[in-house]
Amino acid sequence: MSQAATPGRRGWTVSAIFNAVLAVMLVLVLAGATIVAILMSRTASVTDELVGEVQPAQAEALRLQAALVDQETGARGYTITADRQFLTPYTEGLAAEEASATHLMELVEGRHRLVEDLERIRQAAERWRAEYADPLIGGVTAGSPRQADERAALRGKEAFDEIRALFVRQNADLADAVDEGRDDLEQIRTIRSWVLSGVIIAFLATAALLVVLVRRLVTRPLEALQDASRTVAGGEFSHRITPHGPTDVQAVAVAVEAMRTRVVEELETSLAQQDRLEQQKAELDAQALELRRSNNELEQFAYVASHDLQEPLRKVASFCQLLDKRYGDELDERGKQYIDFAVDGAKRMQVLINDLLTFSRVGRVNDSLEPVSLDATLDKALANLEAAIDDAGAEVVRPAALPDVLGDPTLFGMLWQNLVGNAIKFQRPGQAPRVEVAVSRQATDAGDVWQVSVTDNGIGIDAEFADKVFVIFQRLHSREAYSGTGIGLALCKKIVEHHGGRIWIDTDHTDGTRFCFTVPVAPETNPVTASARGTAEGDRA
């Protein structure tokens, strides 16, 4: 795998690239917004100066000029007519000039050229009044008009023409100030428009750049990854997925490639295991076929052997009995004892052969399952044991009703007969046997089961032998003490396991022996379906 595809390599991720582009875009927008804000502030400032200072200064300059013109008109009129009412424009003009000059100075403060224009006008007006207007007015007697002095009038006109020239200059400078303000506004608006256009262009360019980056850095690598994944999904498991694009996209491709590699390895392992399983299955099928053939042969051999073995045993027992009958008087006690041993051995051999045959046939003779009433099979077993129960004076206590299960009624009859028969056989000396049967429903991981217990008050079984007693031919007592072949409990274990349950000894019960076994609950059955019984406690079977 190339170094670029290594997840640990540092590089630009998609998020890092996008963040960088967005950061540049944000800086541009902020810079543009800052410039626009500054320009807008400057626009407001220039507008305020133009509207609040320069244009009012123009109007105030006109009022100042009008006041000086009124002074000149009033002075000339008073000189000509010597009428005091013509002097009113002069005196009012002086007051208006002072007010306008003061206000105008406030408006043009900081503008040196306009302040100089105002100072020149005020100085020229002072000279005109001092040199012409005031002497002229002072030389007039009220009610006595005087002959106009042409030279004085000419000097006054020249002095005021100087003031008029200053008016023109002042008006021109004020107009220039207005034009400068308007030019500043126009320039600021132009710059603001350019800045806004630049911000918009930058925004659009950034958006276009993001589209291109998404296409190159995300869409194309993901499309390549998708195509490669589809190729692998289509069955080409050996197709290699090559990483492309930024680091994080490459990391995704590396992870998918690792997953493909792992899947291929697991698939190869699974296929190899499947081949092995198929081979094992074929071997097991062959072994099962051979085992069925062998079992059939063994079963046939068991039937033949049991018949062939029992016939000689019957002859041995019969002829031994004939020997005893015909020659009994001629035999001593030892001879008769030998004949008894031979007859007993032959009979026990017959019983052993029958028990072995029964044990070998469990689960093979009849594998079909049918509804079985545990009550009915227990009744049949107790009927078979009636003589033993009466001889021992045994008491069998059973529940009012036992459930129905699925199984083989003959096998369940054997199960009951062995468990109850053992409880009677292994009784405690000097104490009548008491056998108690109980049943309860239990929940297990494999499903609900019926748990049945058979409890007696006999000699009991030590916990160390709790498993040994279920092994065939395992005996805890001698044949002289207790009769039997040692197959009964092994037969019970085989019957219970054949029906999907298990059997054990409850080692916590110490007063006698308690055998417990389970049977799966038959589907769609009531907890107890057998016919109701009266309380059977104390009843003797």
The confidence score (pLDDT) of residue 153 equals 61
Measure Cα distances from 44 to 32, 52, 57, 189, 203 in Å. Answer: 18, 11, 18, 11, 27
CB 361 within 8 A of CB 495: no
Measure Cα distances from 155 to 87, 135, 136, 158, 395 in Å. Answer: 20, 12, 11, 5, 167
Is the confidence at residue 477, as pLDDT, over 60? no
pLDDT above 90 coverage of the chain, percent: 1
Q: Which of 347, 326, 366 minimizes the C-alpha distance to 495? A: 366
Q: Mean pLDDT check: name the lowest of 213-222, 307-316, 324-333, 532-541.
A: 532-541
The domain segmentation of the chain, as residue ranges, is: 13-224, 369-520
Six-digit token pair at 205?
């360019």
Q: Which of 381, 410, 409 minimizes the C-alpha distance to 396? A: 381
CB 244 within 8 A of CB 228: no
Six-digit token pair at 528?
């107890």
The confidence score (pLDDT) of residue 163 equals 83
Q: Mean pLDDT check: name the lowest of 262-266, 345-349, 415-419, 514-518.
A: 345-349
Q: Mean pLDDT check: name the lowest of 94-108, 212-226, 315-329, 334-348.
A: 334-348
Residues 6+ apart with CB under 8 A from 184: 42, 46
The confidence score (pLDDT) of residue 150 equals 57
Residue showing tokens 């967005």: 22
pLDDT, tens only, 83-136: 777 778 888 888 888 888 888 888 888 888 888 888 888 888 888 888 787 887
CB 101 within 8 A of CB 64: yes
Phi–psi pair at 405, nearest 5 degrees: -135, 175
The confidence score (pLDDT) of residue 531 equals 37
Averaged pLDDT score across all residues of the chain: 76
Q: Cα–Cα distance between 239 and 264 in angstroms, integer? A: 11
CATH architecture of 369-520: 2-Layer Sandwich (3.30)
The confidence score (pLDDT) of residue 516 equals 92
Residues 6+ apart with CB under 8 A from 453: 436, 437, 438, 439, 506, 514, 515, 516
pLDDT, tens only, 12-63: 777 777 788 778 878 877 887 788 788 778 777 778 777 777 788 888 888 8
Helix (H, G, I), strand (E, B) or coil at 395: strand
Mean pLDDT, range 294-302, rounded to an integer: 65
pLDDT, tens only, 161-206: 888 888 888 888 888 888 887 888 888 888 888 888 887 888 788 8
Mean pLDDT, range 417-432, rounded to an integer: 82
Is the confidence at residue 528, as pLDDT, over 50? no
Pairing of strands 514-520, 503-505: antiparallel
